[in-house]
């Protein structure tokens, strides 16, 4: 997805952008009007906006009568049109319709829509619901229906039905869990109180069904104020204001203005910190002050530090340390050079994993390997096992002279096929040889996988362009598969022209791999032509497309980005003018040659603007302006720049695109190319030039030719 493209076009090509956008806005209004005037048009429009897979939809003339019934049933379900659903489900339930792989969904949609319309249906039609659950016991639809049924039964206190069905539920649901606690408490099961107290302490968002349970906890004196304020703090720091306010009602003698004050702080935290006098003896005053510090630090850590210094010195010691940790966290995300100093002011305060992670990133940018090691070692055991922290701990251990520890960590990482695994193998001097001639499934292997009803239903949904349902069924179908079954399923997805499922499924293997499934090379002729025309490294372009769209030619994001290279309409229009593409229309953006032509031109434009492939990769995802602002004053190792990107999506995106490019380069025969050299050195904000990168050198060489 590339929403940044729209922002770039706006900033540089206003006239070229706003005219077409006004045109498309008019089209959108017209389409909405048509949906109200013509119900049939509304049914077609009810299909998912996220067209995520390059499965060519059958034209109406190619669809069977039962195909059209399934599509009509789904559209009626979206509108909660019970009359149409009733007619279509009867038709699909006939002897001829029963052969359709998705016939069961018409019954599921009818039952689900009726449950949503009337709570009485949960009891009056319990026989129909149970019949469906019995007929399709191991299915996504049955699990979804059971979940919806249990919620309504719980709300209605229909415990006889509820207790019979809850043991069959396969997925965790907080609302159902709360109803179950309510039932158990009505039977004086005090273990339910212990479980609910643990849920409360974890500061998880709670549905309304939990309110009665929490009230019982309070009545039983199991919610001491200190625990309640800790929950409120965690909810506020995660911006869960509604839950924090609902939790605050269990604080004895809470001031009436608490809820109103949280809203005031949300609008102007700096003003609150300047004007309100902190009352250290009041837990409410302390928590509101800390919320204001956190809220302000999100956008301006430096000002938050100034106001904390001026007005927070009388905070209790532990609370003051927490405040400095929060300022350090957001200072790290804003690349403020003072962030490490702010973390130091937290003293011996036990940082949470998020805070510790940003202390590591701030220390990496500062070249402070002692703090890198200390912050990683302070993380929870679970977090410390993540590949990112094992890698940077290995580097810190090496820098601090602990060669044995560094090597042990690198050896464990080198067995992993990810960004940090490749870097670790290179540092060990290990020659990685991805299995390009990996295990291939036989026809019998593929046929065995295709016997799974969920897999058959998934591919049927994809054929009818029902991507959301197809994804759910696919994920359900591949659960608990071993490596060989996963590769057979990936081949089945490939044969059905659903490449994103093929890639994602092949990536799940643990021991038996086939990297040609993970890194396919479709559209080779068109991609090579346009990459070469723009002087771009083909492996890099392949790596970017794999991350952007998983080679789904008709992919469309919720933001409106389209095609293999996920171009926003305004960017596509701008690029089409630049390459002199005659008779261009937005409808052409999903055509493979057109998308590769425009996307390659835009990628070249971003690269020329930023001068370094790592910066260009970040800029393609988040916008060139942000990628430029994320540089340090001094030159940074490419991996450190990537790891310190403040947007989680972009941080992961850059690392994945670059390691994808490494795999594609090796697949093409460039087995000596090193990922560390491809990442190179990102120049500082006060420096010129593109820094040092083997990929940059290759790109510039191609451009010159």
In terms of domains, do 448 and 544 share one?
no
pLDDT at 2: 43
pLDDT at 193: 97
Looking at residue 607, which CATH number applies to its domain? 1.10.530.10
Evaluate whether residue 280 is within a structural domain. yes
Q: Half-sphere exposure (CA, 13 Å, Cβ side) for 494?
A: 21
In terms of domains, do 664 and 632 share one?
yes
Evaluate whether residue 184 is within a structural domain. no
**Rg over CA atoms, the chain:** 28
Look at residue 14 and tell me whether its pLDDT is greater than 60: no
pLDDT at 3: 40
Residue 503, domain extent: 443-518
Q: What is the mean pLDDT of residues 203-226?
A: 95
In terms of domains, do 572 and 478 share one?
no
Dihedrals φ, ψ of 562, to 5°?
-130, 150
pLDDT digits (tens, 9 = 90+) for 575-601: 999 999 999 999 999 999 999 999 999
Look at residue 31 and tell me whether its pLDDT is greater than 90: no
State which of 500, 518, 536 marks the end of a domain: 518
- Cβ neighbour number for residue 587 with a 10 Å cutoff: 9
Least confident of 22-36, 63-77, 516-530, 617-631: 22-36
pLDDT digits (tens, 9 = 90+) for 112-160: 999 999 889 999 999 999 999 999 998 999 999 999 999 999 999 999 9
Say if CB 43 and CB 72 are below 8 A apart: yes
Q: Which residue has the tokens 């990537």?
A: 642
Look at residue 377 and tell me whether its pLDDT is greater than 80: yes
Evaluate whether residue 653 is within a structural domain. yes
Which DSSP string do the residues of 109-149 spell out, in sequence order? HHHHHHHHH-TTHHHHTHHHHHHHHHHSSSSHHHHHHHHHH
Q: Which residue has the tokens 């490294």?
A: 537
Look at residue 269 and tell me whether its pLDDT is greater than 60: yes
Evaluate whether residue 326 is within a structural domain. yes
In terms of domains, do 536 and 614 share one?
yes
Which DSSP string do the residues of 578-611 spell out, in sequence order? HTT-TT--GGGGGSHHHHHHHHHHHHHHHHHHH-
State which of 502, 518, 534 marks the end of a domain: 518
Residue 567 bridge partners (DSSP): 562
State which of 288, 323, 349 marks the end of a domain: 349
Please give the Cα distance from 217 to 193 (Å, whole number): 7
pLDDT at 100: 86
Q: What is the mean pLDDT of residues 667-691?
A: 86
In terms of domains, do 345 and 454 share one?
no
pLDDT digits (tens, 9 = 90+) for 473-516: 999 999 999 999 999 999 999 999 999 999 999 999 999 999 99
Look at residue 211 and tell me whether its pLDDT is greater than 50: yes
In terms of domains, do 640 and 678 share one?
yes
Q: What is the mean pLDDT of residues 4-16?
A: 36
Evaluate whether residue 11 is within a structural domain. no
Say if CB 70 and CB 105 are below 8 A apart: yes
* Count of domains forming the chain: 3
Cβ neighbours for 358, distance < 8 A, ≥ 6 positions apart: 328, 329, 332, 333, 339
Evaluate whether residue 230 is within a structural domain. no
What is residue 640's three-state secondary structure? helix
- Nearest Cα to 32, choosing from 45, 21, 23? 45
Evaluate whether residue 643 is within a structural domain. yes
In terms of domains, do 486 and 551 share one?
no
pTM equals 0.87
In terms of domains, do 491 and 578 share one?
no
pLDDT at 40: 32
Cβ neighbours for 48, distance < 8 A, ≥ 6 positions apart: 465, 466, 467, 468
When pLDDT is cut at 50, 70 and 90, the band that residue 688 belongs to is low
Say if CB 617 and CB 544 are below 8 A apart: yes
Q: What is the mean pLDDT of residues 180-199?
A: 97
Please give the Cα distance from 351 to 312 (Å, whole number): 19
Cβ neighbours for 533, distance < 8 A, ≥ 6 positions apart: 600
pLDDT at 50: 27
> Using CA of residue 663, residue 664, residue 667, residue 672, what is the dihedral sign?
negative
In terms of domains, do 547 and 480 share one?
no
Q: What is the mean pLDDT of residues 230-243?
A: 95
Q: Residue 195 burial (CB < 10 Å; 0-12/13-18/19+)?
A: middle
pLDDT at 93: 79
pLDDT digits (tens, 9 = 90+) for 39-62: 333 332 232 322 333 344 455 558
In terms of domains, do 545 and 560 share one?
yes
pLDDT at 94: 67
In terms of domains, do 626 and 700 share one?
yes
Evaluate whether residue 308 is within a structural domain. yes
In terms of domains, do 286 and 317 share one?
yes
């Amino acid at each position: 997805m590339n929403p940044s493209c729209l922002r770039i076009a706006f900033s540089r090509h206003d006239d070229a952008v706003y005219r077409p956008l006004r045109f498309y806005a008019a089209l959108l209004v017209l389409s909405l009007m048509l949906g109200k005037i013509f119900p049939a048009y509304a049914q077609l429009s009810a299909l998912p906006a996220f067209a995520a897979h390059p499965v060519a939809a059958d034209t109406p003339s190619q669809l069977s009568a039962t195909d059209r019934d399934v599509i009509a049933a789904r559209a009626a379900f979206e509108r909660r049109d019970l009359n149409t659903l009733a007619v279509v489900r009867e038709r699909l339930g006939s002897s001829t319709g029963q052969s359709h792989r998705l016939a069961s969904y018409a019954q599921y949609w009818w039952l689900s829509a009726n449950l949503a319309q009337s709570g009485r249906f949960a009891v009056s039609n319990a026989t129909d619901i149970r019949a469906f659950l019995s007929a399709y016991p191991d299915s996504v639809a049955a699990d979804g229906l059971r979940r919806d049924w249990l919620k309504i039964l719980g709300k209605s206190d229909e415990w006889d039905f509820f207790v019979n069905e809850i043991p069959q539920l396969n997925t965790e649901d907080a609302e159902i869990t709360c109803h179950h606690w309510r039932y158990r408490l009505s039977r004086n099961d005090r273990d339910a109180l212990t479980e609910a107290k643990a849920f409360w302490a974890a500061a998880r968002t709670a549905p309304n069904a939990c309110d009665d349970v929490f009230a019982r906890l309070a009545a039983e004196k199991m919610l001491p104020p200190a625990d309640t304020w800790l929950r409120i703090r965690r909810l506020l720091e995660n911006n869960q204001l509604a839950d924090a306010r609902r939790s605050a009602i269990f604080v004895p003698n809470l001031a009436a203005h608490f809820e109103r004050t949280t809203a005031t702080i949300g609008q102007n935290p700096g003003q609150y910190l300047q004007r309100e006098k902190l009352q250290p003896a009041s837990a409410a005053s302390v928590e509101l002050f800390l919320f204001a510090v956190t809220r302000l630090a999100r956008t301006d850590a430096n000002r938050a530090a100034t106001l904390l210094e001026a007005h927070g010195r009388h905070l209790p010691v532990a609370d003051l340390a927490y405040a400095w940790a929060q300022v350090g966290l957001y200072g790290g995300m804003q690349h403020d050079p003072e962030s490490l100093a702010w973390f130091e002011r937290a003293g011996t305060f036990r940082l949470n994993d998020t805070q510790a992670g940003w202390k590591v990133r701030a220390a990496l940018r500062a070249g402070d390997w002692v703090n890198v090691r200390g912050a990683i070692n302070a993380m929870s055991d679970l977090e410390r096992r993540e590949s990112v922290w094992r890698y940077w701990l290995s580097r810190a251990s090496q820098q601090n002279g602990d060669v044995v520890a560094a090597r042990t960590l690198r050896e464990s990482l080198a067995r992993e096929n990810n960004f940090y695994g490749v870097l670790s193998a290179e540092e060990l001097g290990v020659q990685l040889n991805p299995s390009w001639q990996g295990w291939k499934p036989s026809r019998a292997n593929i046929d065995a996988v295709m016997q799974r009803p969920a897999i058959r239903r998934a591919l049927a949904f994809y054929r009818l362009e029902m991507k959301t349902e197809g994804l759910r069924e696919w994920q359900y179908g591949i659960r608990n598969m071993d490596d060989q079954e996963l590769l057979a399923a990936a081949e089945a997805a490939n044969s059905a022209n659903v490449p994103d499922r093929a890639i994602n499924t092949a990536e799940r293997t643990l021991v038996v791999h086939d990297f040609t499934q993970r890194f396919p090379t479709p559209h080779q002729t068109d991609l090579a032509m346009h990459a070469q025309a723009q002087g771009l490294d083909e492996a890099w372009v392949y790596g970017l497309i794999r991350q952007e769209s998983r080679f789904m030619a008709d992919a469309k994001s919720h933001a409106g980005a389209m095609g293999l290279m996920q171009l926003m309409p305004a960017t596509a229009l701008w690029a089409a003018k630049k390459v002199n593409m005659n008779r261009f229309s937005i409808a052409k953006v999903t055509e493979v040659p057109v998308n590769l032509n425009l996307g390659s031109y835009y990628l070249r434009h971003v690269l020329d603007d930023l001068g370094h492939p790592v910066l260009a990769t970040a800029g393609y995802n988040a916008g060139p302006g942000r990628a430029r602002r994320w540089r340090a004053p001094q030159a940074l190792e490419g991996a450190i720049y990537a790891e310190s990107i403040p947007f989680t999506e972009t941080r992961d995106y850059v690392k994945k695109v670059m390691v994808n490019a490494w795999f594609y380069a090796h697949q093409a025969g460039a087995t000596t190319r090193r990922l560390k050299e491809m990442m190179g050195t990102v120049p500082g904000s006060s420096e010129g030039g593109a820094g040092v990168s083997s990929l940059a050198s290759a790109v510039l060489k191609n451009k010159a030719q």
